[in-house]
Structure 1
């Protein structure tokens, strides 16, 4: 659900959200004031609350800022869970590549071979194209109402199937042709990958993520909720703008996540995402040659490989890999150096009053280079 926030920000008017004093890190971790200051800046730039975990040569730092719920002074839980949006794609891609390693799937297999008749011209679109967003398939999200439109909330509890969302997408012409010739971010591709995993394994992609990644890594705060609307365990509440001018915030913590599906439905924590990316980049989940494939851009100058993204060069010139996600009411970023020596995950609940990118970039740089 990447970059939904930009559209919401354009639609929303400035909101005045008064945050409680920042909830500081645990006493034994209060020596890194630069990280806390930068996290406070993120909240000041336009968030209700934020939480983060940084891992480096100094150890582990966890901090929070803002509030967990509007109208209260309740601190954001430092171990809180949140909807990770498109960070889910890296989990899905990992499972797909494990199936490739097992010889049950090939990167050059076509969509038509696994899902006959689902995608017009599917004989030209490969698994690789879906993974690196070079398929040209229209993004189904563009066919759905988004906040602050009133009909957005009407779909809050609706259960969507991947098949009906894909059908909405392929009713539109491709954004470019032929497949593989350009980069075009499309959530549709990951819905198809979820269906392909289902077909290859005989079980759901969610079950495969749980079995292959979540359980072996003991990611206690990570889940693939399917249609379950709540976030289990401690968590901040998330909001979306509504009304004609987007001037009101509505609590959107509970919702049916099937609309995001394999492209963005997962829930996790800062600790779990850091642990996942450390395992992935450390070679615990994939062999070296497939991890190298993950790090290979689909087209020249792209910063997206097979379900894995790399943030623009940091202020210290170090390349970091990971992903970012936008689940409307929750946004997250998780990046790691190739050797796992520096890791950062930050998540927030936006209030849609300002552009968060500059403040988030500053926090990431502080965590990775400070």
Structure 2
């Protein structure tokens, strides 16, 4: 296990330089070790508290070795991609290129049944009722298609072959990766550039997110990283390398704990969106849900509400949350071994990060 606590020059610095080492926060390393003991091969985390930054790792980077998890390692961030996509969509709304209440039919005519009644906001907040293409994929198909390049239209076709999960858009929250696949297609239709290029030019480059990328069809994680695995009858299979087009706009992002903390700090500080659209982003889809327009939240054990998102990309699971003022942040990524459920130990880790 490795743990580092440093004082950083600024909470939003992309690569904060350490100036003084101090004692570790209470229980953070212990809680990260508990996450790995419960269900992980390895884990890495970054917690920010004002100007202090703690980075820690637990477990190993690769099964069968004693190699430590790289403390600034990259990982597949899964559905945290959706917050990046939503940010670009909302920037286009601010530029009058899109409107939240525009129907999908306006931009993708004839593609989606009932597209005249499904609005862009329904895609963003998962109330479209469109079936999730992920639920059409079996693990065996995923294993057999490891190097396949998936087209966005192909994923949408798979989803539309299934009946909708609700008949009236906007009424029922039902998480569906199909929604963000369609948003990626709409970004390209409006801008003439891919959603990946728009995220790069609007978010990744301006924020200096040097460890963040959208790999497209490249199967590699280019910088130091823990290995990721999927379960098979023969045991864990190293599935670190795969064609990430299977995730596309719903989850292809590769990032680091530092970059994700910086992204959410800048987003919540209002530097990427005007106040009215950031408020829309935080507005729940339906009463009783904690998901707005690509942004989720959770209430900690001490009553602090934190905003962010979590992601699952088969081989990596990640969580990135921040207080509204971005003074306190926590990002953690786990390479699961599928022997248990990480939710409870992750909840404890996040509560420790935000409440002690």
Same fold (TM over 0.5): yes
1:141 corresponds to which residue?
Answer: 134
**TM superposition score normalised by structure 2:** 0.94
Corresponding residue to 1:283 among 261, 267, 270: 270
Deviation at 1:25? 3.1
Deviation sequence 1:64-119 (CA, Å, 0-9, x none): 00000011100000000000000000000000000000000000111111001110
Residues 184 and 195 in structure 2, CA contact (< 8 A), matched pair in contact too:
yes
Deviation at 1:26? 6.3
Corresponding residue to 1:351 among 328, 334, 337: 337
Cα distance change, pair 83–90 in 1 and its aligned pair in 2 (3 A): same
Deviation at 1:30? 4.5
1:239 corresponds to which residue?
Answer: 229
Deviates most, 345-354 or 24-33: 24-33
The separation in 2 between residues aligned to 1:334 and 1:362, in whole angstroms, is 14
Corresponding residue to 1:217 among 200, 207, 212: 207
1:46 corresponds to which residue?
Answer: 39
The separation in 2 between residues aligned to 1:34 and 1:194, in whole angstroms, is 41
Map 1:260-275 → 2, pairs under 5 A: 260-275=247-262
Secondary structure of 2:277 counterpart: helix
Residues 23 and 66 in structure 1, CA contact (< 8 A), matched pair in contact too:
no
Deviation at 1:177? 1.5
Deviation at 1:32? 2.1
| Structure 2 gaps, min length 5 | 7-20
Aligned length: 342
Secondary structure of 1:142 counterpart: helix
Secondary structure of 1:349 counterpart: strand
State yes or no: 1:229 paired with 2:219.
yes
The separation in 2 between residues aligned to 1:173 and 1:292, in whole angstroms, is 32
Secondary structure of 2:47 counterpart: strand
The separation in 2 between residues aligned to 1:318 and 1:152, in whole angstroms, is 39
The separation in 1 between residues aligned to 2:88 and 2:318, in whole angstroms, is 21
2:314 corresponds to which residue?
Answer: 328
Deviation at 1:153? 1.0
Deviation sequence 1:274-303 (CA, Å, 0-9, x none): 000000000010000000000001111110
Deviation at 1:151? 3.6
Deviation at 1:58? 5.7
2:118 corresponds to which residue?
Answer: 125
Deviation at 1:24? 3.3
Where do 4+ consecutive residues of structure 1 move more than 6 Å? none
**TM superposition score normalised by structure 1:** 0.91
| Structure 1 gaps, min length 5 | 1-21
1:114 corresponds to which residue?
Answer: 107
Corresponding residue to 2:289 among 302, 307, 312: 302
Deviation at 1:33? 4.5
Corresponding residue to 2:192 among 196, 199, 202: 202
Secondary structure of 1:25 counterpart: strand
Secondary structure of 1:320 counterpart: strand
Corresponding residue to 2:151 among 144, 161, 165: 161
The separation in 2 between residues aligned to 1:38 and 1:58, in whole angstroms, is 22
State yes or no: 1:31 paired with 2:27.
no
Deviation at 1:304? 0.3
Residues 24 and 30 in structure 1, CA contact (< 8 A), matched pair in contact too:
no
State yes or no: 1:254 paired with 2:249.
no
The separation in 1 between residues aligned to 2:203 and 2:283, in whole angstroms, is 22
1:104 corresponds to which residue?
Answer: 97
2:12 corresponds to which residue?
Answer: none
Residues 3 and 24 in structure 2, CA contact (< 8 A), matched pair in contact too:
no
Residues 51 and 63 in structure 1, CA contact (< 8 A), matched pair in contact too:
yes
Corresponding residue to 2:170 among 172, 176, 180: 180
